[in-house]
Structure 1
Amino acid sequence: METDITEKIKPIIRYSLPIILIIAALLVFGIFKWNEAKAVLNISDAKLTSSLVHVSAQSDGTLTEILVNDGDKIEAGQVIAKVKVITTPEQIEALQKACDEAQANYDNIEQQIKSSTTTTQTVVSSAPSSGNIAAAQARVDAAAAQAEKMSKLYSIGAVSATQYTEAQSEYSAAQAALSAASAPQQVTREVQTPTAPSKELSEALASAQVQLEQAQAALNQAQSDDNYADITAPVSGIIYLTDFKQGDNLKQNDVFINIGNTKNLWVEAPLTEEQYNKVHPGQFVHYTVDDLDLTGTVLEVTHADDSDNNLITAAKISFPDDMIDKVTPGADVTVQITLDK
């Protein structure tokens, strides 16, 4: 026998529908309140930004070649330009002086060897002058520091080969001068009997010859018409060319190329004055760049005037290090900043 349950479920249907509607209304109200508490600020004209590294002329010269194009992605150490260095008369004079000193040092040691190989000696030694040693050591220390500095600058293309060789020659000459100052003074009675030169003098002569050759090479390079320097990128990044073109003359410290450092990226989002008052460091950010969905936090909020005295405000947003190689500085970014109510 079938039982009709229609009458039994009518009360359930009658009362459950309002309950469902009430629950739905509560959910909508809760979502509204949550969104109200966590409002989102949308910014569509943000940019992926990097720090700029300036490549400048270390001395006067001519920009003979630019080997990169605007927007090129380059690696640290890559040759990006060639400059013909203009050597000043003062630099030529300094190199000539270094060459003369190296020649005099070589001649002095050579004369000592000739004397020692044609005589036996009754030697009376006296201690070297402490003042001479101190002065020679000070020269070595200063030359070593300058040589190390020039070596680092040369490795990144910041100085010319002439300046690098000059620093190395001065360091070698200073070392030879210290060796000479540290040697005991000798008073000899010569007897015409040939002898072999000492090991110390032989080594000193070999060192003096290297110093002389380096000084002569540096002088010859500076005096030649083929004094070119390769300019290498100090960091990996994106090339931003300036108004300088191939064939232009450069003055010392002229910036002729900028490099956007791809190892130091962040998102920069412009803000209106009203938005500036709502954004602060630490806020959560969701953004999209080059089809990548990423998250970060507000690092700082800047507030400054530009060159036309217009008020500029912006939020600096963190960028994940593991995504650096997948994006390009200057890319457009769409930003959503979660605001605390």
Structure 2
Amino acid sequence: MEVDITKKVQYLMKYGLPGLIIIAVLCAGGIYYYQHQHKYFNVYDAQVASSLVASKARTNGTITELVVADGEHVEAGDVIAHIESSITDDQIQQLEQNVALSQRNLDEIKKGQTVTVAVPSAAPAPAASSSGGSSASVASAAARMQRMNELFEMGAISAVQRDQAAADYQAAKAAASSSAPAASSPAVTYQTTTQPPDPKAVQNAELQLRQAQAALDNAKQDAQQTDIVAPVAGTVYYASDITEGAVVTAGQTVANVGNADDIWVEAKVKADQGQKLRLGQFASYEIDGHKLQGSIQDIETAADKAAADKAAQQEADQALGINDNANTGSADNANAADNSAADTSQSADNQNGTAQSDTAAQGSPSPKTTTDTENADVDDDTLIVKISIPTGLSFDLKPGMKAIVKFALNG
């Protein structure tokens, strides 16, 4: 039996096609309305982040071996790399000599200062002399010379007359000396005394000894720091300039260690933009050509994040026995010891090479201190937005990868 569907087809043609057109128009209008009711802004300097803790070199040296591969998991305390310290045996020997020199200098100063002085004995009485006439002639010639000088200054006589008076005076002196009997020289004896050490000189010498000893101890410790270890358990991410043969300095970050399963996208926004964002809001982003979507997990100020990161790093460093004062570099220790030795030698010369007892003028060397200059440049108007990353990705992510984030602003 044949079924006539002509009427149904005509019905669909009459009402179906306009219905589809109406649906398309409504969809386009909805999209247009949505786009015009939501404003967007992009952050182009976002990046993948993680809870990273830096693993730092504890001495100056050269990387000889990278024990683990980049992206490999390690436990806290595992060796990441080996380093050959720049401290040599000759430098250690020189520092030991500086300590010995400082110790000898201190011992000599504590002994006090030995001074030898000449003490003349009572001179014998001079023999009687008949040189009265000669003495009178000298006195007369001296008076005449003085008078001639006064007249010359007034312009009353010539220079020739003045010079003649001076010559007569010298001749009278010579005649009187030749006629005087030889006087016997008084006997001289020498007396040696020991003066007590100057307290300030002793204090300076003790300070120099402590500086030299500290430089030696630091250098020995630095020479033994040949392993770079992981401060926490996690995934190793080497710094971009770290390779075998690379030269590093004390305190330089060799690798960062973090949890590869706990990563997120981190974007910096202005405070006025952050006020229009909310926790749980979706955000789309692109990483290495892959378009993803996540939700806002946290919004915090840049200052708060910097403080939290610094606290985490200090906690990890303390667990490994690392402190900021130890990251001064081996060369600095050697230079400090050389300066201490030079000051010690100078102090010894000042103490023993002179017969004067005034040692208070010796300069007191200033102890060297190491200050922490790692001051973060934090903008108070910046907020850090933390965005989740979906699991089960088909590609690998690592901290530091660049991302472009697109945020929607309501209202």
Fold conserved between structures, TM > 0.5: no
Larger strand proportion, structure 1 or 2?
1
TM-score by length of 1: 0.43
TM-score by length of 2: 0.37
